[in-house]
A = this chain, B = another copy of it.
Amino acid sequence: MFFKPNASSGVPIYVQLMEQVKHAIETGALRAGEQLPAIRKVAEDLVINPNTVAKVYRELEHEGVIELRQGSGAFVADRRRGQARASSVIDARPVIRNAVARLLALGLNEEEMRRLFEAELTRLREGAVTEFAPRKR
C-alpha cells in the first residue's frame, strides 16, 4: 500500500490518510490484527506533523477501523465485515483499472477524469439537487 499526500487537492491530509488506510484494509493490503507503523514513523516518512497522524489514528479508532494500544501501537481491528468486503473491492479493481485506461486513451487528464467520476457519483446519489444552468440571454 502506498500513500502520497496531495497537498493541492483541497482535501485535508488527515482525510486522505484515513482513506488510504481504509482502502488498504479493503483490498487486503492490511489485514486484521496487523500492526500499522508508529505515529512518529508515519509522520517522518510523509513529512507531516505527528499530531496530524495521531488525529488519523484517533478517528480511525473511533470508527472501529483500528485499535490503539498505548505502548504497543496501532492494529487493524479484526471485524469479519472488513474481510468480507475485501473480495468485492479486489474484484472491482480491474473494472476501474480498465475504465481509467480507456479514459486515458481518450486523452483525458487526471482532473477531467476526477470531475467525470464525481459527476457520475452525484448522478447516482440524486436526492435534492440544485440546478446550475445558464441563464437565458
Residues on A close to B: CB < 8 A?
1-4, 10-12, 15, 19-24, 26-27, 29-31, 34-37, 42, 45-46, 73, 76, 85, 88-89, 91-93, 95-100, 102-104, 106-108, 110-122, 124-125, 127-135, 137
Contacts and interface: CB of A to CB of B under 8 A. Distances in A.
A120 B100 contact: yes
Contacts of A36: 134-135
A106 B95 contact: yes
Nearest to A44: B130
Main secondary structure of the interface of A (DSSP, over half): helix
Contacts of A20: 115, 119, 132
Contact of A130 (B2, B11, B23, B130): B2
A89 B107 CA distance: 9
B117 A88 contact: no
B134 A108 contact: no
